[in-house]
């Protein structure tokens, strides 16, 4: 289960370079996996290093997302001009 979550996080990170649709789809997949994980009765011992790796990935994605949102907020005219040129 943790491997699937880690893989989904990597896919989400890759989707940031693609389109909004890709990010949205990967976010939904991750949300479903996390809900399954939360609702699952875990009888196996969880690997601490794997959990720490997942936590680090989530933090990194959060920072990247915040950075992009701040860029858009700080430079809206620049991004609107880029969109108009396409």
Q: What is the pLDDT of residue 6?
A: 84
Tens of pLDDT, residues 4-43: 888 888 888 888 777 778 888 888 998 898 888 877 766 6
- Region 36-65: mean pLDDT is 80
- pTM for this prediction: 0.64
Instruction: Supply the pLDDT for residue 21.
Output: 84
Which long-range contacts link 12-16 to residues 24+ away (Cβ below 8 Å)?
Answer: 12/61, 13/57, 13/60, 13/61, 13/64, 16/61, 16/64, 16/65, 16/68
Per-domain residue ranges of the chain: 2-85
Query: For the chain, what percent of residues have pLDDT higher than 70?
Result: 80
């Amino acid at each position: 289960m943790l491997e699937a979550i880690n893989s989904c996080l990597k896919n989400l990170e890759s989707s940031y370079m693609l389109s909004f649709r890709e990010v949205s789809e990967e976010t939904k997949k991750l949300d479903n996996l996390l809900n399954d994980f939360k609702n699952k009765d875990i009888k196996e011992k969880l690997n601490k290093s794997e959990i720490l790796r997942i936590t680090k990935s989530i933090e990194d994605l959060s920072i990247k997302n915040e950075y992009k949102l701040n860029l858009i907020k700080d430079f809206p005219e620049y991004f609107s001009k880029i969109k108009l040129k396409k």
